[in-house]
């Protein structure tokens, strides 16, 4: 057994120190970034925020809406080739996702054959440390030299570099930080997300590749911290869940408040709307996509009800507004400069919650 002594950091262990700035307005901040991907050589210049390939998040409708703001979507794995027949989103804004099973490969090949304009492939497994996963990435790279390959998830520099050398252009970073993830509880495995981003970004950039910070962002400030830590892209699940475009059923619940009507003295009722959201390794997802949880494994995700949030566009605007504001606080004219302008300070409290319910 070995135990590493330096303390690893999460988003809520830090804040970003403000710095003198010549920017007078958030409007002056440029949020697009220009990347040339290492293997595919594709040049991409848009806003590097990604909707996760989770049910209720990585849908075609979310992709359409996000693309209108120049954001990217990793689509859910279960779309078949024919699902893309009526999907006319610019290929710069979406990836098709796949696992590493035989059926996954067949589906991937069929989709790419029917729709050769698709440019991004997201090879996604919960544990990116297996040899089989590296072999799969290598095989896809050989067969599709010009496609841009996203592969994950890992949390350490060594495996980030291994996946890049095996053909990934972009490595997805995060084990256990997700809003509906129970991996850390079920297995004790994980890595605080801010440190994982810092270490994996450094490893990838040294080779000329890129990373996605995947999971753990609960507010726009966390998105800024992820970029400040060196992430090239930030992927969001929970923050993009609960919207119209996600396609989940809206559950309305009426309940009595503590207030009473002045005239009738009857309790005042309110209706709240919710949407079900679940991890892709949860019982709910297993039942839906794999006919139940296999005997030899346990569920590593939970199912929750989250408030219904209307159109995703409002959430996008809120996140981009926060990110622009962070840039003005630290004097970054472009998102590209944010990590150079970031000094994290260690804190023991994030914000004042005195009036929170």
Which residue numbers are catalytic?
Answer: 181, 183
Binding segment for ligand 5GP (CB under 6 A), chosen from 29-37, 63-71, 97-105, 235-243, is 235-243
Provide the angle, in degrees to the nearest 10, between the axes of the packed helices 131-143 and 157-165.
30
Q: How far apart are CA 63 and CA 270, in angstroms?
A: 33
CB of 293 vs ligand 5GP, minimal distance in Å = 11
CB of 138 vs ligand 5GP, minimal distance in Å = 22
Nearer to ligand 5GP, 54 or 330 (CB): 54
Question: Which position among 174, 228, 230, 246 is part of the footprint of ligand 5GP (CB under 6 A)?
Answer: 174
List the structure tokens of 152: 């994950």
**Cβ 290 vs Cβ 103: under 8 Å:** no
CB of 200 vs ligand 5GP, minimal distance in Å = 14
Our finding on whether 47 is near ligand 5GP (CB under 6 A) is: no
**Cβ 303 vs Cβ 277: under 8 Å:** yes
Our finding on whether 181 is near ligand 5GP (CB under 6 A) is: yes
**Cβ 204 vs Cβ 156: under 8 Å:** no
Residue with token string 């080779």: 207
The helix (run of H) or strand (run of E) holding residue 316 is: helix 312-330
CB of 257 vs ligand 5GP, minimal distance in Å = 30
For residue 158, report the phi and psi dihedrals to the nearest 5 degrees. Answer: -60, -45
Our finding on whether 183 is near ligand 5GP (CB under 6 A) is: yes
Alpha-carbon distances, residue 241 vs 222, 228, 245 (angstroms): 16, 24, 9
**Which 114-173 positions form the footprint of ligand 5GP (CB under 6 A)?**
126, 153
Question: Which position among 178, 192, 242, 246 is part of the footprint of ligand 5GP (CB under 6 A)?
Answer: 178
Binding mask of the shown chain, residues 265 to 294, with x at each position contacting ligand 5GP by CB under 6 A:
--------------xxxx------------
**Cβ 239 vs Cβ 339: under 8 Å:** no
Question: Which position among 180, 194, 231, 316 is part of the footprint of ligand 5GP (CB under 6 A)?
Answer: 180
**Cβ 135 vs Cβ 114: under 8 Å:** no
> Which one-letter DSSP state was computed for residue 68?
H
User: Residue numbers of the site for ligand 5GP (CB under 6 A)?
Assistant: 52, 54, 126, 153, 174, 178-181, 183, 214-217, 235-239, 279-282, 300-301
């Amino acid at each position: 057994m070995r135990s590493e002594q330096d303390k690893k950091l999460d988003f809520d262990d830090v804040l970003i120190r403000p710095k003198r700035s010549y920017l007078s307005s958030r409007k002056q901040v440029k949020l697009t970034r220009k990347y040339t991907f290492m293997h595919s050589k594709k040049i991409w210049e848009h806003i590097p925020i990604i909707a996760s390939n989770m049910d209720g998040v990585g849908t075609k409708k979310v992709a359409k809406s996000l693309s209108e703001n120049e954001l990217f979507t990793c689509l859910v794995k279960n779309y078949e080739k024919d699902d893309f027949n009526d999907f006319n989103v610019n290929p710069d804004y979406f990836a098709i996702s796949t696992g590493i099973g035989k059926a996954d490969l067949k589906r991937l090949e069929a989709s790419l054959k029917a729709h050769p304009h698709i440019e991004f492939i997201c090879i996604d497994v919960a544990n990116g440390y297996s040899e089989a996963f590296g072999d799969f990435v290598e095989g896809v790279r050989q067969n599709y030299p010009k496609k841009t390959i996203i592969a994950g998830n890992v949390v350490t520099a060594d495996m980030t570099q291994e996946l890049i050398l095996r053909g990934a252009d972009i490595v997805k970073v995060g084990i256990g930080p997700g809003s509906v993830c129970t991996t850390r509880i079920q297995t004790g495995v994980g890595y605080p997300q801010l440190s994982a981003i810092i270490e994996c970004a450094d490893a990838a950039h040294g080779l000329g590749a890129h990373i996605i910070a995947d999971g753990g962002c609960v507010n726009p400030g966390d998105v800024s911290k992820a970029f400040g830590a060196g992430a090239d892209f930030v992927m969001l699940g929970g923050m993009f869940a609960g919207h119209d475009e996600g396609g989940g059923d809206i559950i309305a619940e009426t309940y009595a408040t503590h207030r009473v009507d002045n005239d009738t003295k009857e309790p005042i009722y309110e209706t709240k709307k919710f949407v079900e959201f679940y991890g892709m390794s949860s019982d709910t997802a297993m039942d839906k996509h794999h006919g139940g949880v296999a005997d030899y494994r346990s569920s590593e995700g939970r199912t929750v009800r989250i408030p219904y949030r209307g159109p995703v566009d409002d959430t996008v605007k809120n996140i981009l507004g926060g990110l622009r504001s962070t840039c003005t606080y630290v004097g970054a004219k472009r998102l590209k400069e944010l990590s150079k302008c970031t000094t994290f300070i260690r804190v023991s409290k994030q914000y004042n919650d005195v009036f929170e319910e």
